Protein backbone atom coordinates (compact mmCIF):
# COMPACT_ATOMS: atom_id res chain seq x y z
CA UNK A 1 0.00 0.00 0.00
CA UNK A 2 1.42 3.34 -1.06
CA UNK A 3 1.68 5.52 2.10
CA UNK A 4 1.67 8.78 0.11
CA UNK A 5 -1.50 10.83 -0.22
CA UNK A 6 -3.11 10.67 -3.66
CA UNK A 7 -2.48 14.38 -4.20
CA UNK A 8 -0.34 16.81 -2.26
CA UNK A 9 0.24 20.47 -3.02
CA UNK A 10 2.41 22.73 -0.88
CA UNK A 11 2.57 26.48 -1.31
CA UNK A 12 1.81 26.04 -5.02
CA UNK A 13 2.13 29.18 -7.13
CA UNK A 14 1.21 29.72 -10.78
CA UNK A 15 1.36 33.01 -12.65
CA UNK A 16 0.47 33.34 -16.32
CA UNK A 17 1.96 36.00 -18.58
CA UNK A 18 -0.60 38.61 -19.59
CA UNK A 19 -1.21 39.04 -23.30
CA UNK A 20 0.23 42.37 -24.45
CA UNK A 21 -0.65 44.36 -27.54
CA UNK A 22 1.91 45.36 -30.14
CA UNK A 23 2.04 49.00 -29.01
CA UNK A 24 2.63 47.96 -25.40
CA UNK A 25 5.42 45.58 -26.46
CA UNK A 26 7.14 48.36 -28.38
CA UNK A 27 6.82 50.87 -25.52
CA UNK A 28 7.89 48.51 -22.73
CA UNK A 29 9.65 45.56 -24.38
CA UNK A 30 11.26 44.17 -21.23
CA UNK A 31 8.37 44.53 -18.84
CA UNK A 32 6.80 41.23 -17.75
CA UNK A 33 3.20 41.32 -16.57
CA UNK A 34 1.52 38.33 -15.01
CA UNK A 35 -1.79 37.30 -13.54
CA UNK A 36 -1.84 35.01 -10.51
CA UNK A 37 -3.86 31.80 -10.85
CA UNK A 38 -2.55 29.94 -7.78
CA UNK A 39 -1.23 31.92 -4.84
CA UNK A 40 0.42 29.57 -2.34
CA UNK A 41 -2.14 26.77 -2.52
CA UNK A 42 -1.93 23.92 0.01
CA UNK A 43 -3.97 20.76 -0.44
CA UNK A 44 -3.90 17.13 0.68
CA UNK A 45 -6.21 14.50 -0.83
CA UNK A 46 -6.24 11.04 0.71
CA UNK A 47 -6.66 7.88 -1.34
CA UNK A 48 -9.96 6.24 -2.21
CA UNK A 49 -12.02 9.42 -1.86
CA UNK A 50 -14.43 11.30 -4.08
CA UNK A 51 -12.92 14.73 -3.60
CA UNK A 52 -14.63 17.83 -4.97
CA UNK A 53 -12.76 21.04 -5.62
CA UNK A 54 -15.38 23.78 -5.54
CA UNK A 55 -14.82 27.27 -6.78
CA UNK A 56 -16.10 30.01 -9.04
CA UNK A 57 -14.89 30.52 -12.60
CA UNK A 58 -11.30 31.74 -12.64
CA UNK A 59 -10.56 30.52 -9.11
CA UNK A 60 -7.71 28.27 -10.28
CA UNK A 61 -9.44 24.85 -10.53
CA UNK A 62 -8.37 24.08 -14.09
CA UNK A 63 -4.87 25.40 -13.49
CA UNK A 64 -4.48 23.08 -10.50
CA UNK A 65 -5.75 20.08 -12.50
CA UNK A 66 -3.42 20.88 -15.41
CA UNK A 67 -0.45 21.13 -13.06
CA UNK A 68 -1.40 17.75 -11.57
CA UNK A 69 -1.69 16.35 -15.12
CA UNK A 70 1.81 17.70 -15.99
CA UNK A 71 0.42 19.97 -18.73
CA UNK A 72 1.38 23.17 -16.91
CA UNK A 73 4.53 23.79 -14.84
CA UNK A 74 4.18 25.61 -11.51
CA UNK A 75 6.20 28.74 -10.75
CA UNK A 76 6.66 27.99 -7.08
CA UNK A 77 5.96 25.42 -4.38
CA UNK A 78 5.55 21.76 -5.22
CA UNK A 79 2.88 19.25 -6.10
CA UNK A 80 2.94 15.49 -6.14
CA UNK A 81 0.58 12.81 -7.37
CA UNK A 82 0.82 9.31 -5.95
CA UNK A 83 4.09 10.44 -4.30
CA UNK A 84 5.67 11.59 -7.59
CA UNK A 85 6.71 15.20 -8.13
CA UNK A 86 4.80 16.66 -11.09
CA UNK A 87 7.73 18.73 -12.30
CA UNK A 88 10.61 16.30 -11.83
CA UNK A 89 8.80 12.97 -12.44
CA UNK A 90 6.18 13.58 -15.13
CA UNK A 91 6.44 10.00 -16.43
CA UNK A 92 5.39 8.26 -13.19
CA UNK A 93 2.74 10.95 -12.63
CA UNK A 94 1.21 10.22 -16.06
CA UNK A 95 1.20 6.53 -15.18
CA UNK A 96 -0.67 7.26 -11.97
CA UNK A 97 -3.46 9.42 -13.41
CA UNK A 98 -6.34 9.22 -15.79
CA UNK A 99 -7.43 12.69 -16.90
CA UNK A 100 -11.02 12.85 -18.13
CA UNK A 101 -10.74 15.90 -20.37
CA UNK A 102 -14.04 17.69 -20.58
CA UNK A 103 -13.63 18.77 -24.18
CA UNK A 104 -15.43 16.85 -26.86
CA UNK A 105 -12.87 18.16 -29.35
CA UNK A 106 -10.26 15.95 -27.71
CA UNK A 107 -11.61 12.95 -29.69
CA UNK A 108 -11.37 12.03 -33.37
CA UNK A 109 -14.86 12.74 -34.61
CA UNK A 110 -14.70 10.62 -37.76
CA UNK A 111 -13.64 7.51 -35.85
CA UNK A 112 -15.97 5.34 -33.80
CA UNK A 113 -15.91 5.32 -30.01
CA UNK A 114 -14.10 1.96 -30.05
CA UNK A 115 -11.54 3.15 -32.61
CA UNK A 116 -10.82 6.20 -30.44
CA UNK A 117 -10.30 3.94 -27.43
CA UNK A 118 -8.05 1.59 -29.45
CA UNK A 119 -5.84 4.52 -30.39
CA UNK A 120 -5.60 6.01 -26.90
CA UNK A 121 -5.23 2.52 -25.42
CA UNK A 122 -2.06 2.05 -27.48
CA UNK A 123 -0.73 5.36 -26.14
CA UNK A 124 -1.40 4.08 -22.63
CA UNK A 125 0.76 1.06 -23.45
CA UNK A 126 -2.03 -1.44 -24.08
CA UNK A 127 -2.02 -3.78 -27.04
CA UNK A 128 -3.37 -7.02 -28.39
CA UNK A 129 -6.02 -9.01 -26.54
CA UNK A 130 -5.26 -7.18 -23.26
CA UNK A 131 -6.18 -3.88 -24.92
CA UNK A 132 -9.39 -5.33 -26.41
CA UNK A 133 -10.42 -6.77 -23.03
CA UNK A 134 -9.75 -3.43 -21.33
CA UNK A 135 -11.77 -1.57 -23.95
CA UNK A 136 -14.70 -3.97 -23.51
CA UNK A 137 -14.45 -3.49 -19.73
CA UNK A 138 -14.48 0.33 -19.83
CA UNK A 139 -17.27 0.36 -22.42
CA UNK A 140 -19.33 -1.89 -20.13
CA UNK A 141 -18.55 0.27 -17.10
CA UNK A 142 -19.58 3.46 -18.92
CA UNK A 143 -22.60 1.72 -20.52
CA UNK A 144 -21.45 2.56 -24.02
CA UNK A 145 -21.30 -0.98 -25.40
CA UNK A 146 -24.23 -0.44 -27.75
CA UNK A 147 -22.74 2.80 -29.13
CA UNK A 148 -19.14 1.57 -29.34
CA UNK A 149 -19.16 1.20 -33.12
CA UNK A 150 -20.92 4.47 -33.88
CA UNK A 151 -18.84 7.38 -35.08
CA UNK A 152 -18.03 9.84 -32.29
CA UNK A 153 -19.83 12.62 -34.16
CA UNK A 154 -23.09 10.70 -33.65
CA UNK A 155 -22.73 10.68 -29.84
CA UNK A 156 -24.87 12.86 -27.55
CA UNK A 157 -23.13 15.26 -25.14
CA UNK A 158 -23.65 12.82 -22.26
CA UNK A 159 -22.22 9.92 -24.27
CA UNK A 160 -19.18 12.01 -25.19
CA UNK A 161 -18.57 12.75 -21.52
CA UNK A 162 -18.87 9.03 -20.70
CA UNK A 163 -16.40 8.21 -23.48
CA UNK A 164 -13.99 10.71 -21.87
CA UNK A 165 -14.28 8.67 -18.65
CA UNK A 166 -13.82 5.45 -20.61
CA UNK A 167 -10.62 6.86 -22.11
CA UNK A 168 -9.33 7.99 -18.71
CA UNK A 169 -10.08 4.53 -17.29
CA UNK A 170 -8.02 2.81 -19.98
CA UNK A 171 -4.99 3.89 -17.98
CA UNK A 172 -6.09 1.71 -15.05
CA UNK A 173 -4.73 4.55 -12.96
CA UNK A 174 -5.50 4.86 -9.27
CA UNK A 175 -6.29 8.59 -9.49
CA UNK A 176 -8.82 10.15 -11.83
CA UNK A 177 -8.73 13.90 -12.52
CA UNK A 178 -12.06 15.27 -13.70
CA UNK A 179 -12.68 18.89 -14.68
CA UNK A 180 -16.33 19.98 -14.56
CA UNK A 181 -17.75 16.71 -15.86
CA UNK A 182 -21.37 17.81 -15.77
CA UNK A 183 -20.95 21.11 -17.57
CA UNK A 184 -23.60 21.39 -20.30
CA UNK A 185 -25.42 18.22 -19.19
CA UNK A 186 -29.09 18.06 -18.20
CA UNK A 187 -29.81 17.31 -14.49
CA UNK A 188 -30.55 13.59 -15.05
CA UNK A 189 -27.38 13.05 -17.05
CA UNK A 190 -25.42 15.01 -14.43
CA UNK A 191 -26.81 12.76 -11.68
CA UNK A 192 -25.82 9.65 -13.63
CA UNK A 193 -22.26 11.00 -13.97
CA UNK A 194 -22.10 11.79 -10.24
CA UNK A 195 -23.37 8.34 -9.29
CA UNK A 196 -20.93 6.74 -11.72
CA UNK A 197 -17.93 8.62 -10.35
CA UNK A 198 -18.66 7.94 -6.69
CA UNK A 199 -20.52 4.62 -6.92
CA UNK A 200 -18.67 2.78 -9.65
CA UNK A 201 -15.20 4.28 -9.51
CA UNK A 202 -14.59 5.27 -5.88
CA UNK A 203 -16.72 2.77 -3.98
CA UNK A 204 -16.65 0.01 -6.59
CA UNK A 205 -13.06 0.21 -7.80
CA UNK A 206 -11.30 2.00 -4.92
CA UNK A 207 -10.04 4.86 -7.09
CA UNK A 208 -9.48 8.44 -6.00
CA UNK A 209 -11.59 10.87 -8.01
CA UNK A 210 -10.44 14.49 -7.91
CA UNK A 211 -13.32 16.41 -9.31
CA UNK A 212 -13.44 20.13 -10.05
CA UNK A 213 -16.85 21.75 -10.20
CA UNK A 214 -18.71 24.94 -9.39
CA UNK A 215 -21.92 23.08 -8.72
CA UNK A 216 -22.68 22.99 -4.97
CA UNK A 217 -25.49 20.42 -5.19
CA UNK A 218 -23.27 18.03 -7.10
CA UNK A 219 -20.47 18.37 -4.56
CA UNK A 220 -22.81 17.99 -1.58
CA UNK A 221 -24.42 14.87 -3.02
CA UNK A 222 -21.41 12.95 -4.26
CA UNK A 223 -18.22 14.08 -2.51
CA UNK A 224 -16.65 12.47 0.54
CA UNK A 225 -14.70 15.64 1.04
CA UNK A 226 -14.78 19.18 -0.34
CA UNK A 227 -12.24 21.95 -0.72
CA UNK A 228 -13.28 25.46 -1.66
CA UNK A 229 -10.80 27.37 -3.79
CA UNK A 230 -10.94 31.13 -4.18
CA UNK A 231 -8.42 33.55 -5.64
CA UNK A 232 -5.80 30.85 -5.99
CA UNK A 233 -5.91 29.41 -2.46
CA UNK A 234 -7.82 26.73 -0.61
CA UNK A 235 -10.22 28.62 1.66
CA UNK A 236 -11.89 25.63 3.36
CA UNK A 237 -11.50 21.88 3.35
CA UNK A 238 -13.50 19.11 5.03
CA UNK A 239 -16.54 16.90 4.78
CA UNK A 240 -19.89 18.51 4.02
CA UNK A 241 -21.01 17.70 7.57
CA UNK A 242 -17.97 19.31 9.16
CA UNK A 243 -18.11 22.40 6.96
CA UNK A 244 -21.81 22.96 7.61
CA UNK A 245 -21.61 22.19 11.34
CA UNK A 246 -23.72 19.04 10.88
CA UNK A 247 -26.29 20.98 8.88
CA UNK A 248 -26.58 24.01 11.14
CA UNK A 249 -25.68 26.20 8.19
CA UNK A 250 -26.04 25.56 4.44
CA UNK A 251 -23.19 24.69 2.13
CA UNK A 252 -24.16 27.71 0.05
CA UNK A 253 -23.56 30.06 3.00
CA UNK A 254 -20.24 28.39 3.77
CA UNK A 255 -19.19 28.69 0.14
CA UNK A 256 -20.24 32.33 -0.23
CA UNK A 257 -18.39 33.26 2.91
CA UNK A 258 -15.28 31.49 1.65
CA UNK A 259 -15.13 32.90 -1.86
CA UNK A 260 -17.36 35.96 -1.70
CA UNK A 261 -19.23 35.00 -4.86
CA UNK A 262 -22.67 33.43 -5.32
CA UNK A 263 -22.50 29.78 -6.42
CA UNK A 264 -24.06 28.20 -9.47
CA UNK A 265 -27.28 26.32 -8.74
CA UNK A 266 -28.65 23.37 -10.59
Partner 1 sequence: MSGGSRTTALLPGRLSAFLRRDFREALTYKFSFLSSFVGILLSSATFYFVAKLVPPGTPSLGPFGGDYFSFAVVGVAFSSLLGMFQEGLSAVIRSAQVSGTLEALLVTPTSIPTVLFGSSLYSLLLQVFRTLLHLGVALAFFGMTLGRVNGPGVLFVGVLTVLCFLGVGVLSASFILVYKTGNPFGWILGTVSGLLGGVVFPVALLPPWIRWVSSLLPVTYALDGMRKSLLASVGFAEILPDIAALAVFNIILLPASLLAFRLAVRKAKKDGTLSHF
Binding footprint of partner 1 on the chain (CB under 8 A): 2, 14, 16-17, 37, 63, 66, 69-73, 75, 82, 91-92, 94-97, 99, 101, 103, 105-108, 110-111, 115, 118-120, 122-127, 130, 167, 171-174, 205-206
- 18: helix, strand or coil: coil
The least distance separating partner 1 from the CB of residue 103, rounded to whole angstroms, comes to 5
Q: Compare residues 20 and 266 and give the one whose CB is closer to partner 1.
A: 20
The least distance separating partner 1 from the CB of residue 145, rounded to whole angstroms, comes to 20
The least distance separating partner 1 from the CB of residue 149, rounded to whole angstroms, comes to 13
The least distance separating partner 1 from the CB of residue 48, rounded to whole angstroms, comes to 12
The least distance separating partner 1 from the CB of residue 226, rounded to whole angstroms, comes to 25
Please name the helix (run of DSSP H) or strand (run of DSSP E) that holds residue 230, with its range, or none: strand 225-230
The residues with which 215 forms a beta bridge, in sequence order, are: 264
- Which DSSP symbol is given to 79? E
Backbone φ, ψ for residue 190 (5° rounding): -65, -40
Contact in structure between 193 and 115 (CB atoms under 8 Å): no
Contact in structure between 208 and 45 (CB atoms under 8 Å): yes
Q: Give the C-alpha separation, 142 to 80, whole Å.
A: 29
H-helix segments, the chain: 22-27, 61-68, 90-96, 113-123, 128-141, 157-170, 187-195, 216-222, 240-243, 251-259
Q: Give the C-alpha separation, 214 to 78, whole Å.
A: 25
Contact in structure between 98 and 176 (CB atoms under 8 Å): yes
Q: Compare residues 211 and 255 and give the one whose CB is closer to partner 1.
A: 211
The least distance separating partner 1 from the CB of residue 261, rounded to whole angstroms, comes to 23
The least distance separating partner 1 from the CB of residue 220, rounded to whole angstroms, comes to 29
Q: Compare residues 176 and 216 and give the one whose CB is closer to partner 1.
A: 176
Q: Compare residues 164 and 240 and give the one whose CB is closer to partner 1.
A: 164
Q: Compare residues 206 and 262 and give the one whose CB is closer to partner 1.
A: 206
Q: Compare residues 147 and 176 and give the one whose CB is closer to partner 1.
A: 176
* CA neighbor of 147 nearest in space, from 107, 203, 174, 207: 107
Q: Compare residues 25 and 73 and give the one whose CB is closer to partner 1.
A: 73
Amino acid sequence: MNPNPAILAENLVKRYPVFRGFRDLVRRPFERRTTTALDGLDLRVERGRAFCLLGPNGAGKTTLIKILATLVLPDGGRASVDGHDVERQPGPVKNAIGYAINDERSFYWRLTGRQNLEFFGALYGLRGPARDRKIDEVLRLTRLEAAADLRFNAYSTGMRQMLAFARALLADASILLVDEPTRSLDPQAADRIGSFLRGELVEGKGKTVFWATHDLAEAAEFAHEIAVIGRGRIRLQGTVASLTGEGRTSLRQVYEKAVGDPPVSR
